[in-house]
Structure 1
């Protein structure tokens, strides 16, 4: 069994080496992004989905004028500003009752 774990770790290490060698060193990397959020962000920045790191170049990465990884309360948010195709806004709401969030979401959906 230990050889299976060791073989798996070799594959993971090889993938990380490939990504590390292909990417700029000052690039932010998110651990997990929900698919709907990923697609929305890629569309806003003018990028493309990639299934391999072999063909990474500026035409598939997309762009934005400003990016920040921000801690708000107990959660982290990625803030993108000045995206080439952005037509949305994100509101960060904090409150004590779930009903507050549900009412806010309902009212936003009605108006937009």
Structure 2
């Protein structure tokens, strides 16, 4: 079962958040560019967990948001993990200004 989680922040830029996550997890983020997401940062941990930091605003002039439930959070952190990882969430909980949003699983 893959576990998906979303976090958001209005305090940090995407780069600042990536630096904070790197300090806690040792993750190496790579900058990517997407027509849909814009510029985002991606890291894959040793257990195949993917962490993506991206703007909430979808590129373009329409003002669409990736997560419309949280228009007040301009930066999102998305996690796709092979299974739920409470230790990962404990480490991320130490980042001031980062809020865990509703987790989902599939």
TM-score (norm 2): 0.30
| Bigger radius of gyration | 1
Question: Larger relative contact order (C-alpha < 8 A, sep ≥ 6)?
Answer: 2
Higher strand share: 2
Higher helix share: 1
TM-score (norm 1): 0.29
